[in-house]
Amino acid sequence: MKLVLKKWKILIVCFVAIVFAFMTFIFYSYNNQVTIVKHIPDNSTAKIVGDYLDEDDLIKAPYILEGTVTNISPSFEYGGIPFVKITFHITDILHSQSELKDNITILREQEMFTPLEKNHQYILYLYDYEGPIASQVKMVCGGNLGAYEIVKEEMSDTHQTIEEYKQEVRNTLK
């Protein structure tokens, strides 16, 4: 009888260890944060908001836009998950699969992804959202992967300007 109890204890300890390892992996995979990637001549930079960026996948995005967040809606829930709608004013279209107005709406899960902030400038890799939460909205590719914030920082010789980066994107798309 003691042998059976010991086996159950070992199985329970192994199961708890596996669950703990899985939860730790999930937590750390969603919490990789800001990395500087591109510089602008006026001491600005573009930085990725969130996780590691795979440009090979992002370049396939239907929309690659530069602009400013002008409004963020109050949070609303769908299926117990909080979302916000973000108004994004486009200042430059690097790539678009269809004609766009000056302002677009982006749907963003509020708690899972790094927030986009009002009056901040971004380069966003977007796709058309098709689902029950909202209509005629876009979402950021990869959640955090396709969001670059343009910020002021000290210039470094090892980085390229934002204009060089945008030209590189356009050349890749040709």
Q: What is the pLDDT along the chain (174 residues), one digit of tens a residue?
A: 555 556 667 667 666 666 655 555 444 433 323 333 344 444 455 554 544 356 677 888 899 999 999 999 999 999 999 999 999 999 999 999 999 999 999 999 988 888 899 999 999 999 999 889 999 999 998 878 889 888 766 656 556 677 887 888 888 888
Distance CA 91, CA 167 (A): 15
Say how many domains are in the chain: 2
Same domain for 42 and 64?
yes
> Do 130 and 76 have their domain in common?
yes
Give the domain extent around 145. 35-173
Do 40 and 16 have their domain in common? no
Ramachandran class of 101: left when φ > 0, alpha when ψ lies in -120 to 50, beta otherwise: beta
Q: Are residues 17 and 43 in the same domain?
A: no
Asked whether the whole model's pTM tops 0.75, one would answer: no
**pLDDT attached to residue 118:** 95
Structure tokens belonging to residue 158: 């090892």
Res 145: pLDDT: 84
- DSSP β-bridge partners for residue 76: 83
Q: Are residues 143 and 165 located together in one domain of the fold? A: yes
Same domain, residue pair 100 and 26:
no
Beta-bridge mates of residue 121: 68, 150
Show Cβ contacts of residue 20 under 8 Å, excluding neighbours closer than 6 positions: none
What's the Cα-to-Cα distance from 21 to each of 17, 29, 52, 79, 89, rounded to whole Å?
A: 6, 12, 21, 28, 42
Q: What is the pLDDT of residue 102?
A: 95
- Say yes or no: 16 and 3 in one domain: yes
Phi, psi dihedrals of residue 110, rounded to the nearest 5°? -70, -40
Per the CB < 8 A criterion, the answer to whether 98 and 122 are in contact is: no
Are 28 and 136 in contact by the 8 Å Cβ rule? The answer is no
| Claim to verify: residue 60 and residue 1 sit in the same structural domain | no
Q: CATH number for the domain including 79?
A: 2.40.50.120
Supply the pLDDT for residue 25. Answer: 47
